[in-house]
């Protein structure tokens, strides 16, 4: 019965909500009701129609000091329970509380034999609400006297737009744009009412919902409910309240500033002879800008009227070239009614301009007729505008002569091609070259720097962070740059695209991508130079006009701008909008600078959040529901503070002294100005110390770097390759034997070191060919690989492989022992490019392709393994023990008399455990146990044990016995992480590396495993090749951690490597060895 009643109430509320969205008048009344009654849910509010009343529960009215009149019946509404009462349907069909279910019933619910009840009464309760007229408060004014707000509609709307991003971002689903638009429109109206914005209520509602007509029409019932829920959520959220308070403070300070300048008042009629000379529309921001010629108090001027159709609503701004009218509007030098009149006149002119343009551009009478029908269906047009548009239609029908079509525009982003040149530095073979990052990392990458880069390097370095390194904003401010200017530079840099956009159809075209990369670098580099010329706020205000317009964008018509070729297709709406700054945007910069503590000095950061206020006639104490309030008047706004502790007693406050706030909390009072400043300094020091202490506690101990011990002696016991004291290796041998693309040496290496490196390296590469049973020329991986000895890094650096230049670098001695590891990286990288057919930096270990098929098998073998028998036994024990615990519950459930079940189970625990774990349990043994149980039960309780109970106990005993004895091959377990993988993860937690997850990355695990594989394949020692293969070992907190494969894991991984090398030979990427080794005495 309760459930049916709730369903009826839900249905009625949903019907009412649907009606709200079909009736603007009812929606307006509904929002006004919600504004008056902050405790109402959107469902509850839909049950009432009177918007001018207060609503509360019976107890709520009593707390307000009023009583519900005798004989009054409240309106029933449903509210969510604070704690859900779960119910189920038992075998008789009766709905019962889940808490009353027996163990067997709970088991049946778990198995699905019994169903949980989905009745609404489990989740909701019915409450009754009474209107003010139904109580003794009837006729009493409960409205708070709220002064006119200093905030405008635009201020309120911008606050809610910012709040929406924060409030809705906390949800784990994407909120549709239509829902967000409507929610912000409705919440804007509610908050404007709550703030008492100086505007006609009906006009305010029209303004708030002016842009959501189309969005409303597409909403489903669920989305309509979501709109109301979010609207209330945003209005009532602490986030909105904080943002609103910040905005009040900013506007108040701005007004106080402007008052000191003594500007004179302006009325709408001071603006005469309005004539639109231009209209601009930003398709990204939906901003319409109308430029008027007019007279202001008799003086010719240019007026700009911008209607900003932002993401979730509309706002406007009005500026004049001379004596900017926007300053007067912001400074209350133009009354709200006069602003309304001026906005109406400008809107009418804009509406006529747009309709008249459509009319004059009609190509024939059919098009004109369509425009006429559209005009007849148009809403929100004033009477005067409608009359003028109607006259224009009539004149066009009479005159119909000429039409004008709107010009189309096309984006081009074809950057000029660049000619690449080669680096002149070489030792043997092809010059390896490199990005020479040290030359440009501070000044930023330029187009010239790209010339000597290959495709992979361009792809890596052509990003914003390399082309336009992040400036030291603090240093710029310290050297005299205004904070606003530094923040503008930061804002523009943040708006620049982080990297060029590569379309899907372009991603496999290296030549086209290279051109885009070059064009991107040229664009960002030029834009950086332009931006860094900004030095003053006047430069900011003129930045778009002087630096962007006609340079990066061209005006193609009255309505559109088109990016020029100078943009190379990289100009975005976000960047374009960031460049267009007006005085109000600069004011908004101050709020953002404060919020982010941008370029704050240490002292500013220390005292941020503190405020010193004089306790004078602008401050007074009040009481609200037995809570003391300190009210402070600033301009037209009232700020409320809630004193605590010793600050509650108003009689102890001394006039014309100062008090201190910290984040709106009173922390000191009755001070002189100097004392208050001392308090702020001392408390700021304490707060800073606490923050520093907390931050220090969060810091992790700095990780040390893992460096394998340098080999003291390089030993090789393999067959000779003809290299000895009389036959030394040289660069040409590397080119002829292995086919290397090139080789180079570091300047710091002397002749002896160079020769030793060549000798050791030659033998090691020959050993590698023997280990893999491949031809020596395969060592260069098709002529792609280069070799460097100590030339690409500092003298003390370890060996490394550079994928961008496909070169292995070995230092003088540290590189000894790591050659197989680095060649593994080269194999992984270079063959991936051959398989994929692209010059982009890729790795076989990272590819999702199953070609060659041995690679994913090898990766799986490195990361995962099947569970061992011991792990299966342990898992079986855990689940069997769990069910044995259920058996204990069954004893108590079936034999509760005198706690017999529990006592018997505990006394015979060992016997029961032995029975359950016995591998060959017989029925005779179970029957013997049941007989003993029955006899003891009868002796204790005086009753016989029923057959049903003994049968259930027998059933549970057999079930638990079965679980203890499940065959291991029947136990299903997920794949387990290998010791190799687990220890690699541990190494990441112990040791540092340039990239996160270095040790556990697939390509690093592949290289370490490959070095071990090479070592195992050789039946002799080759230290220079793989002397470090088994050195990835650490002793940490008493545990030996080996970050390389060992034992059975190593054996399986080696088998997968055999398969991979075999497949690469079948593919023709490697070749079966055919040479016969020279048998000579080894060095």
Q: Which pLDDT does position 1079 carry in this prediction?
A: 37
Q: What is the mean pLDDT of residues 120-131?
A: 76
Q: Which pLDDT does position 849 carry in this prediction?
A: 63
Q: What is the mean pLDDT of residues 298-322?
A: 72
Contact 549, 491 (CB under 8 A): no
Mean pLDDT over all residues of the chain? 82
Model confidence pLDDT, tens digit, residues 998-1015: 888 899 999 999 999 999
* Winning range, highest mean pLDDT, from 335-349, 480-494, 497-511, 964-978: 480-494
- The H-assigned helical ranges of 170-269 are 177-195, 201-208, 213-217, 221-236, 238-259
Q: Residue 974 contacts by C-beta under 8 Å, 6 or more apart in sequence?
A: 867
d(CA 819, CA 764): 8
Model confidence pLDDT, tens digit, residues 417-472: 333 333 333 478 887 766 455 567 678 888 888 887 877 788 888 899 899 999 99
d(CA 146, CA 639): 11
Model confidence pLDDT, tens digit, residues 270-309: 888 888 988 887 766 667 888 988 888 778 888 888 886 5
pLDDT > 80? residue 636: no
Q: What is the mean pLDDT of residues 759-768?
A: 93
Q: What is the mean pLDDT of residues 10-39?
A: 87
Q: Which pLDDT does position 1 carry in this prediction?
A: 47
Q: Which pLDDT does position 56 carry in this prediction?
A: 87
Q: What is the DSSP letter of 131?
A: E
Model confidence pLDDT, tens digit, residues 478-509: 889 999 999 999 999 999 999 888 776 666 67
Tokens of 535: 């030095």
d(CA 93, CA 97): 13
Q: Which pLDDT does position 412 carry in this prediction?
A: 33
Contact 481, 535 (CB under 8 A): yes
Residue 983, classed as helix, strand or coil, is: helix
Domains of the chain: 2-240 (no CATH), 261-399 (no CATH), 433-596 (no CATH), 602-698 (no CATH), 731-866+977-1066 (3.40.390), 869-970 (no CATH)
Name the burial class of residue 774, with classes exposed (0-12), middle (13-18) and buried (19+) by CB atoms within 10 angstroms of its CB. buried
Q: What is the mean pLDDT of residues 965-990?
A: 88
Model confidence pLDDT, tens digit, residues 201-254: 888 888 888 878 877 888 888 888 889 988 988 888 888 888 888 888 877 776
Confidence of residue 311 (pLDDT cuts 50, 70, 90): very low
Q: Which pLDDT does position 471 carry in this prediction?
A: 92
Q: What is the mean pLDDT of residues 574-599?
A: 84
For 811-933, list the strands marked E by DSSP: 864-865
Confidence of residue 1071 (pLDDT cuts 50, 70, 90): very high
pLDDT > 80? residue 1066: yes
d(CA 601, CA 566): 39
The residues facing 76 across adjacent strands are 128
- The H-assigned helical ranges of 919-966 are 923-941, 947-964
Tokens 């992984």 belong to which residue?
828
Q: Which pLDDT does position 1020 carry in this prediction?
A: 93
Give the residue with greater pLDDT, 369 vs 776: 776
Q: What is the dihedral of CA 161, 162, 167, 169, to 10 degrees?
A: 100
Q: Which pLDDT does position 1076 carry in this prediction?
A: 54
Q: Show the 3-state SS of 88-108.
A: EECCCCCEEEHHHCCHHHHHH
pLDDT > 80? residue 318: yes
pLDDT > 90? residue 101: no
Question: 908: closest CA among 957, 965, 966, 952?
Answer: 957
Q: What is the mean pLDDT of residues 365-382?
A: 74
Residue 823, classed as helix, strand or coil, is: helix
pLDDT > 50? residue 914: yes
Geometric angle at alpha carbon 250, from 245 and 256, rounded to 5°:
125
Tokens of 544: 């778009």
Confidence of residue 614 (pLDDT cuts 50, 70, 90): very high
Task: Report CA 19 to chain centroid distance, whole Å.
Answer: 37
Give the N- to C-terminal CA distance of the chain in Å, as an integer.
97
What share of the chain in percent tops pLDDT 70?
A: 85
Q: Which pLDDT does position 255 carry in this prediction?
A: 65
Confidence of residue 264 (pLDDT cuts 50, 70, 90): low
Does this model's pTM top 0.85? Answer: no
Contact 253, 206 (CB under 8 A): no
Tokens of 905: 């189970």
The residues facing 293 across adjacent strands are 275, 302
């Amino acid at each position: 019965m309760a459930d049916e009643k709730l369903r009826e109430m839900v249905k009625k509320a949903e019907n009412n909500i649907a009606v709200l969205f079909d009736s603007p008048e009812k929606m307006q009344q509904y929002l006004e009701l919600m504004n008056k009654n902050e405790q109402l849910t959107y469902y509850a509010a839909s049950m009432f129609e009177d918007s001018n009343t207060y609503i509360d529960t019976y107890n709520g009215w009593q707390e307000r000091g009023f009583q519900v009149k005798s004989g009054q019946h409240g309106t029933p509404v449903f509210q969510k329970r604070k704690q859900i009462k779960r119910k189920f349907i038992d075998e008789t069909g009766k709905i019962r509380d889940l808490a009353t279910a027996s163990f067997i019933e709970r088991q049946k619910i778990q198995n699905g034999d019994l169903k949980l009840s989905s009745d609404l009464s489990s989740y909701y309760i019915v409450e009754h609400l009474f209107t003010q007229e139904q109580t003794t408060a009837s006729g009493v004014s409960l409205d708070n006297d709220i002064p006119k707000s200093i905030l405008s509609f635009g201020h309120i709307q911008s606050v809610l737009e910012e709040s929406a991003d924060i409030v809705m971002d906390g949800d784990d689903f994407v909120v549709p744009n239509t829902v967000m638009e409507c929610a912000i429109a409705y919440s804007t109206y509610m908050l404007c009412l709550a703030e008492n914005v100086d505007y006609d209520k009906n006009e305010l509602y029209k303004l708030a919902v002016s842009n959501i007509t189309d969005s409303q029409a597409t909403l489903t019932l669920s989305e309509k409910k979501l709109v109301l829920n979010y609207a209330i959520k945003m209005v009532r959220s602490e986030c909105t309240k904080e943002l609103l308070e910040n905005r009040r403070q900013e506007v108040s300070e701005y007004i106080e500033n402007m008052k000191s300048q003594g500007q004179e008042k302006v009325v709408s009629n001071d603006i005469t002879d309005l004539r639109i000379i231009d209209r601009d529309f930003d398709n990204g921001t939906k901003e319409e800008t109308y430029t008027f010629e007019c007279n202001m108090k008799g003086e010719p001027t240019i007026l700009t009227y911008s209607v900003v159709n932002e993401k979730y609503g509309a706002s406007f701004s009005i500026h004049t070239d001379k004596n900017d009218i926007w300053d007067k509007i912001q400074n209350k030098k133009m009354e709200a009614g006069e602003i309304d009149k001026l906005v109406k006149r400008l809107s009418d002119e804009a509406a006529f301009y747009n309709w008249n343009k459509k009319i004059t551009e009609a190509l024939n009478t059919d098009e004109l007729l369509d425009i006429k029908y559209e005009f007849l269906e148009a809403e929100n047009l004033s009477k005067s505008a409608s009359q003028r548009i109607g006259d224009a239609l009539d004149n066009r029908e009479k005159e119909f002569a000429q039409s004008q079509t709107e010009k189309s525009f096309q984006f081009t982003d074809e950057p000029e091609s660049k000619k690449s040149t080669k680096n002149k530095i070489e030792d043997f073979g092809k010059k390896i070259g490199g990005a020479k990052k040290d030359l440009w990392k501070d000044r930023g990458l330029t187009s010239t720097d790209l010339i000597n880069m290959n495709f992979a390097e361009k792809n890596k370095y052509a990003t914003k962070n390399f082309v336009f390194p992040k400036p030291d904003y603090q240093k710029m401010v310290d050297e005299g740059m205004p904070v606003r200017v530094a923040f503008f530079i930061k804002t523009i840099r943040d708006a620049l695209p982080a990297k060029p956009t590569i379309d899907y159809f372009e991603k496999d075209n290296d030549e086209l991508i290279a051109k885009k990369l070059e064009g991107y670098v040229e664009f960002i580099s030029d834009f950086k130079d332009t931006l860094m010329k900004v030095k003053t706020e006047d430069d900011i205000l003129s930045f778009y006009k002087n630096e962007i317009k006609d340079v990066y964008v061209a005006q193609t018509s009255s309505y559109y701008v088109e990016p020029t070729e100078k943009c190379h297709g990289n100009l975005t709406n976000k960047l374009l909008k960031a460049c267009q700054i007006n005085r109000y945007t600069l004011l908004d910069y101050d709020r953002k600078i404060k919020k982010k503590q941008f370029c704050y000095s240490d002292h500013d950061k220390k005292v941020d959040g503190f405020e010193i206020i004089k306790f004078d006639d602008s401050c007074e104490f009040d009481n609200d529901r037995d809570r003391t309030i300190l009210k402070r008047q600033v301009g037209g706004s009232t700020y409320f503070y809630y004193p605590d502790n010793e600050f509650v007693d108003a009689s102890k406050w001394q006039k014309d002294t100062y008090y201190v706030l910290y984040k709106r909390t009173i922390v000191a009072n009755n001070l002189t100005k100097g004392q208050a400043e001392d308090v702020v300094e001392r408390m700021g020091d304490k707060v800073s110390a606490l923050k520093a202490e907390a931050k220090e506690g969060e810091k992790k101990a700095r990780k040390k770097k893992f460096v394998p011990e340098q080999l003291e002696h390089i030993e090789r016991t393999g067959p000779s390759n003809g290299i000895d004291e009389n036959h030394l290796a040289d660069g040409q041998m590397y080119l002829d034997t292995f086919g290397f693309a090139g080789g180079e040496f570091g300047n710091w290496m002397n002749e002896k070191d160079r020769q030793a490196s060549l000798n050791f390296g030659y033998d090691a590469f020959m050993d590698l060919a023997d280990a893999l049973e491949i031809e020596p020329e395969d060592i260069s991986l098709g002529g792609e690989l280069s070799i460097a000895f100590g030339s690409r890094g500092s003298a003390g650096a370890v060996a490394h492989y550079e994928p961008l230049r496909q070169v292995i670098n070995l230092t003088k001695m540290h590189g000894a022992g790591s050659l197989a590891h680095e060649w593994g990286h080269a194999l992984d990288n270079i063959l991936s490019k051959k398989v994929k057919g692209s010059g982009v930096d890729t790795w076989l270990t990272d590819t999702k392709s199953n070609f060659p098929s041995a690679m994913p098998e090898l990766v799986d073998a490195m990361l995962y393994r099947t569970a061992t028998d011991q792990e299966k036994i342990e898992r079986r024990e855990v689940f069997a023990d769990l069910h044995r615990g259920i058996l204990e519950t069954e004893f108590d459930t079936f034999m509760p008399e005198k706690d017999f079940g529990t006592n018997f189970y505990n006394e015979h625990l060992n016997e029961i455990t032995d029975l359950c774990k016995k591998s060959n349990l017989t029925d005779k043994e179970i029957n013997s146990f049941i007989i003993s149980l029955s006899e003891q039960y009868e002796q204790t309780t005086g009753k016989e044990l029923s057959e049903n109970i003994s049968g259930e106990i027998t059933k549970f005993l057999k079930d638990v016995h079965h679980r203890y004895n499940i065959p291991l091959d029947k136990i299903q377990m997920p794949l387990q992480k290998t010791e190799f993988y687990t220890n690699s993860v541990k190494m990441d937690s112990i040791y540092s590396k340039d990239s996160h997850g270095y040790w556990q990355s697939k390509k690093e695990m592949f290289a370490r495993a490959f070095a071990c594989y090479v070592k195992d394949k050789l039946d002799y020692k080759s230290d220079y090749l793989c002397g470090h293969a088994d050195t990835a070992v650490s002793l940490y907190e008493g545990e030996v951690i080996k970050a390389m494969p060992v034992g059975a894991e190593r054996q399986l991984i080696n088998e997968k490597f055999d398969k991979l090398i075999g497949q690469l030979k079948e593919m023709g990427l490697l070749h079966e060895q055919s040479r016969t080794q020279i048998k000579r005495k080894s060095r």
